[in-house]
Amino acid sequence: MNGEPEPIQKLQDLVNKTTWKKCCFSGDGEYICAGSARQHALYIWEKSIGNLVKILHGTKGELLLDVVWHPIRPIIASISAGVVSIWAQNQVENWSAFAPDFKELDENVEYEERESEFDVEDEDRSVDQAGESKDDEEVEVDVTTCEAVAAFCSSDEEGEDENMLSFLPIAPEIEDPEDGWAATQETVTPSETPEILEPAAKRPKSKTYEISLKVTPNDHPLPFGGKNKQAAGNKKVAGRPRK
């Protein structure tokens, strides 16, 4: 580098002609902070355009000894006689920007619970809201219209071909769904040799026949007292026979 270096930018207090005690750059190098030698005051300039952005005034009667800027955050620390001052911007959380129904309160307010707050159907809501919810329930959903798939359409075609084959409906075919639906369960004792159970579909079906037999039960009395007479004829009378 030939010659003496020359300053590319000059920053000064044109009004008060303040002399400086200490200066530093911000963490990103976009701002320059200078501390006054006469009082506890910090001057901040924007490096790109050289405009004075902010003046920070400390406690009156104190002299500034040193100033440093945080390497990452927008925080400045200044030192005076026995006091370290931390300069930072107050972080204000705006909750209303995240929740539309959120309300900011300056002080605590006692909440009054509505009687129908936890009811399934809100009886306290207005008529307009009830009408809107009813309209939402009556919205018809179209489940029959088939929209064209963009992957199957060409940009060169002017319109969509109605006869274009997009998909083929297929239904699964099931042969003899009743046969082999569930395998029969057979109990095997420990002494017997376990055998492989064949599926029910391979086994022949057993044929059943219904036969009705007309048999009179033993306890049912025969007509005309036939049962009693037969029993009396077979019974022997004890004692001597009559002459």
pLDDT, tens only, 182-203: 544 444 444 444 455 555 455 5
Name which of 100, 63, 77 is nearest 27 in CA terms.
Answer: 77
Q: pLDDT averaged over the chain?
A: 72
Range with top average pLDDT, 100-109, 126-135, 176-185: 100-109
pLDDT at 202: 54
Q: Which residue has the higher pLDDT, 92 or 19?
A: 19
Strand partners of residue 7: none
pLDDT at 169: 74
**What pTM was computed for the model?**
0.38
pLDDT digits (tens, 9 = 90+) for 125-147: 665 555 555 556 677 888 777 77
pLDDT at 179: 58
Determine, yes or no, domain membership for 47: yes
pLDDT above 80 (res 219): no
pLDDT at 185: 47
Mean pLDDT value of segment 169-187: 63
Determine, yes or no, domain membership for 3: no
pLDDT at 227: 47
Backbone angles phi, psi at 143, to 5 degrees: -115, 5
CB contact at 8 A, 183 and 199: yes
What gap in Å lies between CA 103 and CA 51, rounded to an integer? 39
Determine, yes or no, domain membership for 103: no
pLDDT at 77: 92
Q: What is the DSSP string of 67-90?
A: EEE-SSSS-EEEE-SS-EEEE---
Which residue has 């082999």 as its token pair?
180
Q: Which domain holds residue 45?
A: 26-63
CB contact at 8 A, 14 and 22: no
Q: Among residues of the chain, what percentage have pLDDT more than 70? A: 54
Q: Which residue has the higher pLDDT, 43 or 198?
A: 43
CA torsion angle for 128, 132, 133, 137 (degrees, to 10)? 150
Determine, yes or no, domain membership for 166: no
pLDDT above 80 (res 60): yes
pLDDT at 229: 46
Mean pLDDT value of segment 55-65: 87
Q: Which residue has the higher pLDDT, 123 or 144?
A: 144
Residues contacting residue 80 through CB under 8 Å, at least 6 positions apart: 40, 58, 59, 62, 63, 64, 65
Determine, yes or no, domain membership for 57: yes
Number of domains in the chain: 1
Determine, yes or no, domain membership for 204: no
Q: Which residue has the higher pLDDT, 70 or 120?
A: 70
Determine, yes or no, domain membership for 192: no
Q: 3-class SS at 50?
A: coil
pLDDT at 174: 76
Question: How would residue 67 be classed by pLDDT, with cut points 50, 70 and 90?
Answer: very high
Q: Among residues of the chain, what percentage have pLDDT more than 90? A: 5
Determine, yes or no, domain membership for 50: yes
